[in-house]
Structure formats: structure tokens, C-alpha cells
Amino acid sequence: AQSVTQLDSQVPVFEEAPVELRCNYSSSVSVYLFWYVQYPNQGLQLLLKYLSGSTLVESINGFEAEFNKSQTSFHLRKPSVHISDTAEYFCAVSEGTGRRALTFGSGTRLQVQP
């Protein structure tokens, strides 16, 4: 069965500093990987996804994530964060066969401080 681990429940960081949010997954088959962002009292919005091809994927607002099959990781990074990036970030995995629904990690609260 697939599972997702986000080791950091909270990540405080100062504005304009770089940040990395860690995500590791466990699966016995090929996977598709996603990062979602949830702002307070809102639904989840897709930030970026890895389905196939280049292992480095980018979002329109400066985030990037790299799929590392050997380390079963999909860490999210941003070189310079803004106050507006403060939110809850969820890593999710979907297997190519079988269950086919998203399995989410427990989330990481990114708190950007001025």
C-alpha cells in the first residue's frame, strides 16, 4: 500500500530565505506525485505535479520539486519565500494501478515571518 511521510509538521522561515519541505513516499509500483497548497479556510490547490518525463517540475509562483526515485522523495523547494506563501502544504501520491485515489501526507505548515 502507498504511504506519504512529511517529516516536518511546521517550518518557520524568514521572508526571502530559501525553504525546503520534505516528502518521502512508499509504494511498490510506479507513482504520480503532487504538491497541494491550502490557505486558511480554503480548499486545496494544486501547486505542481510529476507524472512522467523530467524529474524536476516547477510551479508558476517559483516553487519546484524533484522526483528522486532511488530515495523515494519529492521534496518541495523555493529559493526565496514571501509572506504570502504562508500556508499548509500537502504532498500526495497516486499509484498507476490499484487504488488510484490520492494518498496525502500529514501536511507541513510553512510560516513565513517578516
The answer to whether residue 49 forms part of the interface with another protein (CB under 8 A) is: yes
| Closest CB to another protein among residues 54, 97 | 97
Q: Copy the grid coordinates of residue 50.
A: 510529476
- In angstroms, what is the minimal distance from the CB of 92 to another protein? 8
The three-state secondary structure class of 103 is: strand
Instruction: List the one residue out of 90, 66, 96, 94 whose CA is nearest residue 78.
Output: 66
Q: Which one of the spans 16-24, 39-47, 58-66, 68-76 is the region binding another protein (CB under 8 A)?
A: 39-47
Between β-strands 87-95 and 73-78, what pairing exists: parallel, antiparallel or unpaired? unpaired
Ramachandran sector of residue 48 (left: φ over 0; alpha: ψ -120 to 50; beta: rest)? beta
Decide if 90 contacts 44 (C-beta within 8 A): yes
Residues 71-90 contacting another protein, CB under 8 A = 88, 90
From the CB of 46, what's the least distance to another protein, in Å?
5
Tell me if 2 contacts another protein by CB under 8 A: no
Q: Under the rule (CB under 8 A), what is the footprint of another protein?
A: 32, 34, 36, 38, 42-46, 49, 51, 88, 90, 94-97, 99-104, 106-107
